[in-house]
């Protein structure tokens, strides 16, 4: 492995890895992103829970 090989490898691998994790960091710390993580999947589950609860209450009365 030559010096130029080391430089190219460190620049390419370090650059792409750093860029990717910087982007991921930006995504996770963006204002409102934690709200967006509470998305359709959770909402669907909440709707199903509420429907189940309503059905149970309906049966109870």
Distance, in Å, from the CA atom of 45 to the CA atom of 60, rounded to the nearest integer, reads 22
Q: How far is the CB of 48 from other proteins (least distance, A)?
A: 12
Does 47 sit near other proteins (CB under 8 A)?
no
The answer to whether 33 and 27 have CB atoms below 8 angstroms apart is yes
Q: What is the DSSP letter of 21?
A: H
Sorted by sequence, the CB contacts under 8 Å of residue 1 that are 6+ apart come out as 9
Rg (C-alpha) for the chain, rounded Å, is: 24
Our CB check for other proteins shows the closer of 48 and 50 to be 48
The 27-46 site mask, x for binding other proteins (CB under 8 A), equals xx-xx-x--xx-xxxxxx--
> Contact residues for other proteins (CB under 8 A)?
1-2, 4-6, 8-9, 12-13, 16-17, 19-20, 22-24, 26-28, 30-31, 33, 36-37, 39-44
């Amino acid at each position: 492995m030559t010096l130029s090989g080391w430089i190219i490898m460190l620049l390419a691998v370090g650059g792409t890895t750093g860029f990717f994790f910087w982007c991921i960091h930006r995504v996770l710390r963006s204002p409102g992103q934690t709200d967006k993580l509470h998305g359709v999947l959770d909402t669907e589950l909440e709707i199903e829970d509420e429907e189940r609860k309503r059905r149970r209450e309906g049966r109870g009365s």
